[in-house]
Structure 1
């Protein structure tokens, strides 16, 4: 990247670049007296000329829309270029050699940019003619199989690079282009002088002003020595893949007029979208959509309104597409426009969608876009098992920072309600977690846990793994107090158990170590050990759990136990299980549409009613001792 352009050179560009010549290339100007020229404004629709150019002062101004400035400003606005890009383009046109403050971008050849653009244009015309030759049959078949006619290929300038190896070089040299320019343009390789593109279908990549800055090429022959499906022009003085978008020349004016940009993933997707009527479609070239692309689109749509316009991304439904969506989301703050995602349910890209279902299906895909935040939120939540309470809590903690990052704070409440419905968690709990995320600020959140990964509780001490890897809960974890107290009774007073063990089952214990202690007790009862606690310990293969049995055997019990005390604790334990089951069912019912759910929805609703009755009975049975 070049440094700052020398101020004297900028002034020289302004002096040499006559504003009437530059504007006259875009606007029909007529003399209006007093040394002024007048024409129809190129920046807004009008029938009566209100656009004036004053060559003696080097300025233009539109009395209709208010646009105005000097020759550099005009080039910036008409071609949607940055200030530096506009100065460089004008410098090449009028032969000014630019100097940069840090010397990093020092230009050794005045007019090099212009010669490269001319060489690229000549190459594009050559490639386009080659597409009609017998050697390009495979290329024409490729286009035909994807639903593109000859007229479509001509509209987008699709071409073919011959397989000879030096056909383009010889053609351009005969037109007077030296090999040094062809090498710097990325058209010819420095070693050997071979054409950079050979035996491939080509798409010319143009900047917003319509100048050919590079090419994208697709593999169409099985014996192609280059294994990559697509190759692109390497970075040159006029082409940087991180800041160019394919289709921008065709979409530029519509993007500005509609304040909308549709970002697709490939050259044929751009073609399909435009042919289907989505005339704001563009695609990145040989690289992922990045920050520079975002800034370019935002510049086209304008930054005057805080929420002006919309940028719609189409991604494949596979893992790569989801990863691309997450990457775009991280750079979302580059936009003042609202960002959306359009994903075809069956994973079809716009080209395949048009081929299989027609133009209307492509338009419908864009019309059915959803906010990027919601798309990312849904994909984030999908990483967790929402049928488990700990999975829902983890999903909420992962998704809450997404809600806090919404630029339009008026939407936070709406997204909070959506999050509540998506996860199946009470709205008040969602609000509290969002508030906590806001207090934490923009600190990076941990990577989402997958469905198979448990989420630890918020106890006072972390669980310590045993030697075999089973976490051993320490004393004092409030959420596990009833489980621990019940096991202490079971180990220290097995004589108080009735034949049903008060209905206690292994699934009543949420901690794996506690569940293993219970299972050891059941096995001890079946085998008839002599010493109850010792027998349980001997039946346990895990040394950590064996130590836990000893610990529970000596840990004090707050009250002198009897059968009623034991039964009360068992009821408390089973009540917690029922409450978890109720929460899981309510979450499922909240996330499921009653009509779409059909018989399954009605069956689960019936289960909920039964569980509520069981909860009432257990609440009554659990009233008694309060340790």
Structure 2
């Protein structure tokens, strides 16, 4: 196991990786005044730019969807990388050789290897695409034509052909100054020097940023020495099959825009869906759809999770039913509602498009049904519903399915539906569902910290929040938000005690949590970034990023900071006075004289304090 990246190198990567350059390779940015840059958010669909990059602070933040962070977290999100992978990616980009703390090993790979592999993959994709037009590739063109795909379709999806010669790609890339060792590590060439793909139709598999990570290849010839119909790039430092989805580069923006993802089973199915207008289709590559894939999709959905849809297309046979049950068993990993779309005749989207045209594919997705309903139907079919004990056993087997539905407003309707399917009283079914609900384990609350060496290979995932996010438009909290912006952006304007501000001066828990983290962080260069890094709660961390880039209401001065701090403290005193007056009104001055007098004295002190703070808040000595 490799050690952790040396902290000094981590800071060097941040300093040398100019956030405007890295983000600018994915987003068209333009000046917005005050040294900031704006553009259309790459994480959700929008027409008016709300994505803001502040180079001076090294942060990006989207005021539309709430995504934000530094250059490392941007690479994590846009490329679906783990923390260490993202740092290594940026280090390769700026030519920095990372040092690692003591561990069982050094760096995970030699410096620059990731970039060399990505470059080799891109050149390989161009080589394969050019080969598709050669006489050697006639079988590949016949295959595509037989499935209704034109030359334009092949060009759009980047489809290519791997020659049968055995060393054509190797010789081509050696001529581009790549070493055989790097090509082996890229999964393009075998140790013996033979091309990994030979005599096959090839699909490039790209990430959300359109970098080619690997390839999927279909068998065309009977004498192919590899018996598998489909062959994928072996695992490399850039290609991990549980972390890639074919078609994601084309579907990414549409998934965010439509809040829907359609999961199909193969490359040609993805093509058929996109051509037919279902432009949110993706497919796993050489492995079953898993929890890592679901988290990739969840990141692309809008913030309204319950409104999102993940639609699976399965064959109608036993294997398709088993696949549906497997997905349902991991349904808790999805933030969105899950559906299933099954063609009655058992055809996949590609075959369906051939037989029924584009409209048939769109209709297949439009006829989707909730995944739980499909699983329930298969569950009930195992029981004899003509017998009373069979009906009861069926309800008890199906009750956990109903109890697992996230949208509780739908549960009553589903209970009535289940009662109708089995022919039982809805109240009896409701009782079984309630029993199943009580048996459900409590949802796991996870705390997220800086990735450990063991966790470093894991891509960024949706995190569980422990505090609610404040509404930035809430006028009652405007002072709390404004003070924190000044504290984070201009900490040097405040004395050591932060102007007398106390955590209890913040009424909203998220603002209070940010202030507590701020107080525990040493001032100096990179102050706001270090506050972000210290926060375990994702809501508070994202909030800190937003506060670090939001414009201030006036030019920051010591007077401005002092007055703002006084306004915050004044708001708390006003709340305390209101609470104390309420308690005095509920206290009998005769029967509880001592308590009443004590509270009255406190009220006089608070009123004096209020007048002092009020004067400070308006600039009076």
- Tell me, yes or no, if the aligned pair for 1:294 and 1:334 is still in contact at 8 Å: yes
Question: Alignment partner of 1:201: what SS?
Answer: strand
Provide the residue aligned with 2:310 in structure 1: 311
1:508-527 to 2 correspondences below 5 Å? none
CA–CA separation in structure 2 for the residues paired with 1:84 and 1:349:
39
- Tell me, yes or no, if the aligned pair for 1:14 and 1:72 is still in contact at 8 Å: yes
CA–CA separation in structure 2 for the residues paired with 1:299 and 1:421:
38
CA–CA separation in structure 1 for the residues paired with 2:285 and 2:172:
26
| Cα displacement (A) at 1:255 | 0.9
Question: Alignment partner of 1:328: what SS?
Answer: helix
- Tell me, yes or no, if the aligned pair for 1:373 and 1:402 is still in contact at 8 Å: yes
Provide the residue aligned with 2:70 in structure 1: 70
CA pair 118-66 structure 1, distance change in 2 beyond 3 A: same
CA–CA separation in structure 1 for the residues paired with 2:286 and 2:70:
35
CA–CA separation in structure 2 for the residues paired with 1:357 and 1:401:
38
Deviation per CA, 1:266-315: give whole Å up to 9, x if none: 0000000000001110000011101111111111215x435241111110
- Tell me, yes or no, if the aligned pair for 2:207 and 2:249 is still in contact at 8 Å: yes
Deviation per CA, 1:230-278: give whole Å up to 9, x if none: 1111110001111110000000111112111110000000000000001
| TM-score of the aligned structures, taking structure 2 as reference length | 0.66
Provide the residue aligned with 2:258 in structure 1: 258
CA–CA separation in structure 1 for the residues paired with 2:74 and 2:14:
12
CA–CA separation in structure 2 for the residues paired with 1:221 and 1:384:
47
**Gap regions ≥5 residues in structure 1:** 444-627
1:211-610 to 2 correspondences below 5 Å? 211-302=211-302, 304-441=303-440
- Tell me, yes or no, if the aligned pair for 1:80 and 1:300 is still in contact at 8 Å: no
- Tell me, yes or no, if the aligned pair for 1:80 and 1:209 is still in contact at 8 Å: no
Provide the residue aligned with 1:126 in structure 2: 127
**Gap regions ≥5 residues in structure 2:** 443-621
- Tell me, yes or no, if the aligned pair for 1:80 and 1:299 is still in contact at 8 Å: no
| TM-score of the aligned structures, taking structure 1 as reference length | 0.66
CA–CA separation in structure 2 for the residues paired with 1:218 and 1:421:
47
CA–CA separation in structure 2 for the residues paired with 1:53 and 1:392:
60
CA–CA separation in structure 1 for the residues paired with 2:80 and 2:142:
36
Question: Alignment partner of 1:252: what SS?
Answer: helix
CA pair 130-70 structure 1, distance change in 2 beyond 3 A: same
| Cα displacement (A) at 1:52 | 4.9
Provide the residue aligned with 1:88 in structure 2: 88
- Tell me, yes or no, if the aligned pair for 1:315 and 1:321 is still in contact at 8 Å: yes
1:92-111 to 2 correspondences below 5 Å? 92-98=92-98, 103=104, 106-111=107-112
- Tell me, yes or no, if the aligned pair for 2:97 and 2:111 is still in contact at 8 Å: yes
CA pair 386-48 structure 1, distance change in 2 beyond 3 A: closer
| Structure 2 residue 8 is the aligned partner of structure 1 residue 12 | no
| Cα displacement (A) at 1:2 | 6.9
Question: Alignment partner of 1:283: what SS?
Answer: strand
| Structure 2 residue 229 is the aligned partner of structure 1 residue 204 | no
Question: Alignment partner of 2:201: what SS?
Answer: strand
- Tell me, yes or no, if the aligned pair for 2:125 and 2:204 is still in contact at 8 Å: yes
| Cα displacement (A) at 1:197 | 0.7
- Tell me, yes or no, if the aligned pair for 2:161 and 2:201 is still in contact at 8 Å: yes
1:34-53 to 2 correspondences below 5 Å? 35-37=35-37, 52-53=52-53
> How many positions carry a matched residue from both structures?
441
| Structure 2 residue 181 is the aligned partner of structure 1 residue 180 | yes
CA pair 64-331 structure 1, distance change in 2 beyond 3 A: closer
- Tell me, yes or no, if the aligned pair for 1:40 and 1:51 is still in contact at 8 Å: yes
CA–CA separation in structure 2 for the residues paired with 1:203 and 1:35:
42
Question: Alignment partner of 2:177: what SS?
Answer: coil
CA–CA separation in structure 2 for the residues paired with 1:111 and 1:14:
17
Question: Pairwise CA RMSD of aligned residues?
Answer: 2.6
CA pair 436-22 structure 1, distance change in 2 beyond 3 A: closer
Question: Alignment partner of 2:343: what SS?
Answer: coil
CA–CA separation in structure 2 for the residues paired with 1:151 and 1:343:
29
- Tell me, yes or no, if the aligned pair for 2:44 and 2:301 is still in contact at 8 Å: no
Question: Alignment partner of 1:307: what SS?
Answer: helix
CA pair 7-344 structure 1, distance change in 2 beyond 3 A: farther
| Cα displacement (A) at 1:383 | 1.9
Deviation per CA, 1:432-487: give whole Å up to 9, x if none: 322333344359xxxxxxxxxxxxxxxxxxxxxxxxxxxxxxxxxxxxxxxxxxxx
| Cα displacement (A) at 1:151 | 0.5
Question: Alignment partner of 2:339: what SS?
Answer: strand
| Cα displacement (A) at 1:204 | 0.6
CA–CA separation in structure 1 for the residues paired with 2:441 and 2:96:
46
Question: Alignment partner of 2:306: what SS?
Answer: coil
Deviation per CA, 1:330-349: give whole Å up to 9, x if none: 11101111111111111111
| Cα displacement (A) at 1:3 | 7.3
CA–CA separation in structure 1 for the residues paired with 2:435 and 2:46:
53
Higher relative contact order (CA 8 A, sep 6+): 2
